[in-house]
């Protein structure tokens, strides 16, 4: 650049400024037109309700300036050196001196050095910025004004919905998000449930093995070995109690404790639910599985229906089937997991029913949403089926454990009376047969648990004689829940006059209060069924003794 003549450098600088001015002018007009078009687009979209507001991101407005810049670059006027020379001649009033200089390369003659000298002499006093000044205030003001109008339209102009397009699009978008949440929740639960199924299968195998060991131990019981028998029974009871606590839950215990009346009231729907409950309490869910399979068949028929009327009819039928299952889950089964899976299925059904009943005029977005809703419904029904299977498994295990614990309780009572003989159950092949056998054996015992025998070796009466003599002793202690209630060391029959009236009333009140809270305490502490009968029997005996003060006191 430094080797160029001053006149040539001047022409180059003026040419560059003219090029910049040409591009800026083109960019100004194209951008101004783009912003005006953007304002018109916002007006049309908002006033006619072509798109929901949440689907109108500000980023789409950047398309207009980008297109304007591209168009300005492509279509702006190119500037030649002759145009720069004319601009200099016009500014300096040099009578085409610089135009002649710009065309010297295409002309011939001895006057060329004279032109260059004259142009160089004039170029020293010409400033390119004065020849082509940059005037940006007016274009920038216009751009800023239109841009402010666009911003006000975007932020302040509400979206109207004269044709209902916004409502329809918003509904589709909302339904789409709900379906996505349903599928996400179902997938998350399926992953967690797969681990629970694996754990339940391991627990099931362990329980079967425990039952086999228990039956093997019962076969080895001998009447004369009370202490060894009792130790073995206690070990089995401890293991079964631990397993019972792992399986047990408040909802499951409540479901298993529900009584089903033989009298059928409440209509066919209630009878059906009672049958489901009765079967589920036995650890069987075949009828419920059939209901779910029927719901799946109804769903597939609904998806393949040819007319909107048939589709609507099948959707109503499927809705009733799912409502029956959901009602059973909440009122009878008491399973939050099953109820939640059925809730997801109901939501998916409503999302599926939200699409247009006819294929005519249905958008691609609606069709895609309907397909996803159908998949969500299938997945929810499959999850409900798995939840139901696991609920039935847990009910079966808990029922089996309770029966085993009750059988152990019967065995312990028989062992205490020297009646537990494994040889009598040599042919028993299941724990239920042991329980039935022990029940019959206990039926042959007296109310106090003593065997009815007339043969030698029967239970002998106690000998109350005391060769060393004894002294009447009575102790009075404060009657309080959780402490010693009463202790009377005497062999004679206690009567009401032997007690202080105030202390007796306090004692009766305390016993009644404690007994009333026994059931609640059993439930709150999750007492295994193997201990429940003994606890209740203890407090029943206390109440019985309290109601008959003339009877001998219990030492």
Give, for 489, the enclosing helix (H) or strand (E).
Answer: strand 488-489
Sequence-ordered list of residues with C-beta below 8 angstroms from that of 357, at least 6 positions apart, any chain: 308, 311, 312
Cβ–Cβ < 8 Å for 115, 100: yes
Q: Which residues of the chain have pLDDT under 70?
A: 1-3, 53-58, 106-110, 261-266, 354-363, 444-500, 504, 511-555
Rounded distance between C-alpha atoms, residue 309 and residue 325, angstroms: 25
Helix (H, G, I), strand (E, B) or coil at 475: coil
Half-sphere exposure of 102 (CA within 13 A, CB side): 20
Q: Which pLDDT value is given to residue 306? A: 86
Phi-psi region of 457 (alpha: psi -120 to 50; beta: other; left: phi over 0): left
Q: Which pLDDT value is given to residue 552? A: 40
Sequence-ordered list of residues with C-beta below 8 angstroms from that of 276, at least 6 positions apart, any chain: 287, 288, 291, 328, 332
User: What token pair was written down for 396?
Assistant: 């079966």
Q: What is the pLDDT of residues 448-483, one digit of tens each?
A: 444 444 444 444 444 444 444 445 554 444 444 554
Phi-psi region of 95 (alpha: psi -120 to 50; beta: other; left: phi over 0): left
Strand ranges (DSSP E) for 26-170?
none
C-alpha 220 chain-centroid distance: 50
C-alpha 547 chain-centroid distance: 54
For the chain, the residue count is 555
Query: What is the DSSP secondary-structure string of 14-54?
Result: HHHHHHHHHHHHHHHHHHHHHHHHHHHHHHHHHHHT-S-GG
- Give the CA-trace dihedral at 530, 531, 533, 535, to 10 degrees: 180
Residue 423 Cα distances to 221, 228, 405, 413, 453, angstroms: 8, 16, 21, 17, 20
Give, for 473, the enclosing helix (H) or strand (E).
Answer: strand 473-474
User: What token pair was written down for 546?
Assistant: 């309290």
Q: Which pLDDT value is given to residue 523? A: 55
Whole-number percent of the chain with pLDDT over 90: 29
Rounded distance between C-alpha atoms, residue 161 and residue 181, angstroms: 28
Rounded distance between C-alpha atoms, residue 396 and residue 400, angstroms: 6
Is the pTM for the entire model greater than 0.85?
A: no
Q: Which pLDDT value is given to residue 455? A: 40
Rounded distance between C-alpha atoms, residue 82 and residue 530, angstroms: 111
Q: What is the pLDDT of residues 381-405, one digit of tens each?
A: 999 999 999 999 999 999 899 899 9
Q: What is the pLDDT of residues 2-14, one digit of tens each?
A: 567 888 899 999 9
Domain boundaries in the chain?
6-156, 165-422, 473-547
Helix (H, G, I), strand (E, B) or coil at 406: helix
Q: What is the pLDDT of residues 257-302, one digit of tens each?
A: 888 765 445 578 888 888 999 999 888 999 999 999 999 999 999 9
DSSP assignment, residue 331? I
Q: Which pLDDT value is given to residue 56? A: 63
Among 280, 295, 376, smallest CA distance to 329 is for 280
* Tokens 């709900």 -> residue: 178
Half-sphere exposure of 277 (CA within 13 A, CB side): 25
Q: Which pLDDT value is given to residue 421? A: 84
Q: Which pLDDT value is given to residue 390? A: 92
Rounded distance between C-alpha atoms, residue 35 and residue 108, angstroms: 52
Q: Which pLDDT value is given to residue 1? A: 44
Rounded distance between C-alpha atoms, residue 362 and residue 89, angstroms: 69
């Amino acid at each position: 650049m430094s080797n160029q003549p001053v006149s040539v450098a001047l022409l180059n600088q003026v040419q560059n400024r003219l090029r910049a001015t040409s591009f800026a002018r083109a960019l100004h007009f194209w951008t101004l037109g783009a912003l005006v078009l953007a304002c018109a687009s916002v007006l049309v979209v908002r006033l006619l309700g072509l798109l929901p507001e949440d689907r109108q991101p500000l980023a789409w407005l950047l398309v207009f300036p980008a297109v304007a810049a591209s168009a300005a670059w492509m279509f702006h006027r190119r500037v030649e050196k002759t145009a720069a020379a004319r601009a200099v001649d016009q500014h300096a009033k040099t009578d085409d001196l610089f135009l002649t200089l710009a065309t010297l390369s295409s002309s011939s003659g001895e006057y060329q050095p004279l032109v260059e000298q004259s142009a160089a002499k004039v170029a020293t006093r010409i400033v390119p910025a004065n020849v082509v000044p940059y005037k940006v205030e007016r274009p920038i003001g216009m751009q800023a004004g239109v841009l402010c109008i666009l911003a006000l339209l975007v932020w302040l102009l509400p979206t109207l919905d004269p044709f209902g397009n916004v409502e329809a699009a918003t509904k589709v978008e909302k339904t789409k998000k709900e379906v996505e949440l349903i599928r996400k929740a179902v997938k998350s639960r399926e992953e967690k449930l797969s681990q629970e199924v694996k754990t339940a299968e391991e627990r099931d195998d362990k329980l079967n093995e425990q039952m086999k060991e228990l039956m093997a131990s019962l076969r080895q019981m001998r009447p004369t070995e009370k202490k060894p028998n009792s130790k073995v029974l206690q070990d089995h009871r401890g293991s079964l109690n631990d397993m019972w606590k792992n399986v047990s839950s408040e909802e499951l215990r409540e479901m298993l404790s529900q009584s089903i009346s033989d009298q059928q009231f409440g209509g066919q729907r209630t009878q059906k639910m009672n049958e489901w409950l009765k079967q589920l309490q036995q650890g069987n869910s075949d009828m419920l599985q059939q209901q779910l399979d029927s719901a799946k068949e109804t769903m597939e028929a609904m998806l393949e229906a040819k007319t909107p009327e048939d589709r609507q009819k099948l959707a109503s039928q499927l809705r009733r089937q799912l409502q029956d299952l959901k009602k059973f889950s909440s009122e009878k089964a008491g399973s939050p997991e099953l109820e939640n899976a059925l809730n997801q299925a109901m939501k998916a059904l409503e999302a599926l029913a939200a699409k247009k009943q006819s294929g005519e005029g249905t958008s691609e977005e609606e069709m895609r949403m309907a397909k996803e809703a159908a998949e969500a419904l299938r997945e929810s029904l499959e999850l409900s089926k798995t939840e139901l299977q696991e609920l039935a498994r847990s009910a079966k295990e808990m029922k089996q454990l309770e029966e085993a614990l009750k059988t152990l309780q019967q065995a312990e009572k028989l062992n205490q009376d020297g009646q537990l003989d494994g040889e009598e159950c040599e042919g028993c092949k299941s724990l239920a047969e042991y329980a039935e056998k022990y029940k019959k054996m206990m039926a042959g015992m007296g109310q106090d648990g003593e065997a009815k025998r007339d043969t030698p070796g029967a239970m002998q009466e106690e000998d109350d004689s005391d060769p060393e003599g004894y002294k009447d002793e009575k102790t009075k202690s404060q009657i309080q829940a959780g402490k010693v209630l009463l202790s009377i060391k005497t062999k004679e029959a206690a009567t009401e006059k032997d007690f202080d009236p105030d202390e007796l009333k306090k004692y009766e009140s305390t016993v009644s209060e404690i007994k009333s809270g026994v059931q609640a305490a059993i439930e709150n502490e999750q007492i295994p069924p193997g201990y429940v009968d003994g606890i209740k029997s203890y407090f029943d005996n206390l109440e019985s003794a309290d109601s008959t003060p003339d009877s001998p006191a219990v030492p």
